[in-house]
Amino acid sequence: APVAAAIVDSLNRYGADAFQIPLAVKLADSDFRKAADDPLLADAVRGAGGVFFSGGDQARITQALVRADGSRSAVLEAVWEVYRKGGVVAGNSAGAAVMSSTMFYAPKTVFATLRGGVTDGQEIAPGLGFIGDDVFVDQHFLVRGRFARMIPAMLKKGYKFGLGIDENTAMVVDAQRRVEIVGSKGALLVDLSRASTDPARAGFNVSNVVISYLDRGDLYDLNTHAFTPSAAKAGGRIVPHKDLLADPVFSPDILGRNALVELMENLMNNRRSEAIGIATSGAGSTLPELGFQFTLSKTRDSVGYASAAPHSYSILNMRLDIRPLDIGQSLRTQ
C-alpha cells in the first residue's frame, strides 16, 4: 500500500489522475482472490486510460491476477480491455517482467542458471503476455548480468527474440510494435534466430547468438527488425581506422555490472575482431569449479554508432558464443 501511494503521487506530479487498485497477495486485511474478481474494481480499471504495475515479485503479480485454473480474473480482463482500446500498460522491475508470455518466476542466480538451466513452473512460468508471444522480456538486465540467464530461458521456450531493459530506462512499444528506448541507459536485443547448441558437448553451450545494444533514443521495429539510431547518432556511424587500439579485449567477470556493454564498446573501438569474457561461480561457492567462456565477435553485419554529447554508443549485430570452461585446476593452485 505505501508503494502504491508513492507511485500514485509520482504519476500525479506528471499530470496523471492516478489511483491505486487494492489488489495484492500480501495486502493486509484483504483476500486477493475476491478482489481480483470484484466487479467494482474491474470497472475502475476498465475506465482508466492506462495501468501501471509496481515492482517487487512478478510471481505475486500473476498469482493475484490469474485464477487457479489459468483463466484471467475480472480485473486482469479489464486491464486487457484498456490495452485493446489503446491504453498504456506499463510497469517497473517485476511490473516489466510480466509483460512477456513467459517470465522468470523463482530464478536461481545467473551463474546457477547457466549451470542448471530452467524448468517450467520453477525458474520460469507464464507471464501476462502484453508484448506478444514472440518476445521474451527481462529487467535489471545489464547491471546484474541477466543476459546470461535470458538465453537459456529463450532456448527452453523457443523464443527467437528477447529484450532486456537496464535500470532507469524504459522500452516504449507502440501499436505497430516499434520500440523506442527512453531514459538513462539502454536495452539489449538478443536474437536467437540463427543460434544453435551442441547436445554432444557437456554443459550449457550456444553458438551464433546475435546481440545488439540499443541506446536511449534508438528505435527498433519488432516486425521488420529495422533499426534507426537516435538523432544524436544519425551521422555517427563508427568507421574502422588505423588509429584504433589493437590490445586484447577481455573481461574477467562478464556477469559483472555493465561488463557486457563495456566489452562490446571496447571491441567496436578495436582492430581486433574478437573479445573474451569469463564467468565463474565466484569465491566461496559450493558449485563445482567450472566456468563459462563468452566470445564476442565482429562480423560483416556488426556496426556501431556514437554520439559526442553526451557520449554514448549503439552497437548492432555482434556474435556471441558461450561454452563451458574447465577452470578447476587453475583455481585449486591459487
Interval 110-148: pLDDT, tens: 999 999 999 999 999 999 999 999 999 998 888 888 999
Instruction: Output phi, psi for 236, to 5 deg.
Output: -110, 35
- Contact partners, residue 14, CB within 8 Å, separation at least 6: none
Q: Read off the pLDDT of each residue in 307-333 and give the average, rounded to a whole number.
A: 79
Span between the terminal Cα atoms of the chain, in Å: 51
Q: Given a cut of 70, is residue 81 above it in pLDDT?
A: yes
Q: Given a cut of 70, is residue 289 above it in pLDDT?
A: no
Residue 245 to residues 267, 272, 277, Cα–Cα distance (Å):
9, 8, 18
The predicted structure's pLDDT at residue 179 = 97
Distance CA 114, CA 45 (A): 40
pTM of the model: 0.92
Q: Map residue 152 onto helix, strand or coil.
A: helix
Q: Given a cut of 80, is residue 171 above it in pLDDT?
A: yes
Q: Read off the pLDDT of each residue in 254-266 and give the average, rounded to a whole number.
A: 93
Q: Read off the pLDDT of each residue in 289-307 and give the average, rounded to a whole number.
A: 92
- List Cβ<8 Å contacts ≥24 apart for 270-276: 270/244, 270/245, 270/246, 271/240, 271/244, 271/245, 271/246, 272/246, 272/247, 272/248, 273/297, 273/298, 274/249, 274/298, 275/249, 275/250, 275/251, 276/248, 276/249, 276/250, 276/251
Q: What percent of the chain has pLDDT over 70?
A: 94
Q: Given a cut of 70, is residue 241 above it in pLDDT?
A: no
Q: Given a cut of 60, is residue 157 above it in pLDDT?
A: yes
Q: Which residue has the higher pLDDT, 329 or 190?
A: 190
Contact 146, 140 (CB under 8 A): yes
Among the residues of 47-190, which ranges form H helices?
58-65, 74-84, 94-97, 110-116, 147-157
Q: Three cell numbers at 167?
A: 535500470
Q: Transcribe 227-265 into DSSP letters.
A: EE--GGGTT-B----TTSB-S--EES-TTSTTHHHHHHH
Q: What angle do CA 273, 275, 276 make, to 5 degrees?
A: 150
Q: Read off the pLDDT of each residue in 94-113 and give the average, rounded to a whole number.
A: 94
Q: What percent of the chain has pLDDT over 90?
A: 79
- Contact partners, residue 199, CB within 8 Å, separation at least 6: none
The predicted structure's pLDDT at residue 277 = 96
Is the Cα dihedral 99, 102, 105, 106 positive or negative? negative
The predicted structure's pLDDT at residue 219 = 97
Q: Read off the pLDDT of each residue in 200-216 and give the average, rounded to a whole number.
A: 94
Contact 259, 281 (CB under 8 A): no
Q: Read off the pLDDT of each residue in 27-55 and give the average, rounded to a whole number.
A: 97
Distance CA 50, CA 277 (A): 41
- Contact partners, residue 82, CB within 8 Å, separation at least 6: 45, 46, 48, 49, 50, 51, 89
For residue 120, the cross-strand partners are 124
The predicted structure's pLDDT at residue 310 = 74
Place of cell 584504433: 244
The predicted structure's pLDDT at residue 123 = 95
Q: Read off the pLDDT of each residue in 201-217 and give the average, rounded to a whole number.
A: 94
Q: Given a cut of 90, is residue 27 above it in pLDDT?
A: yes
Q: Read off the pLDDT of each residue in 311-320 and give the average, rounded to a whole number.
A: 94
Q: Three cell numbers at 19?
A: 489511483
Confidence band of 285 (pLDDT split at 50, 70, 90): low
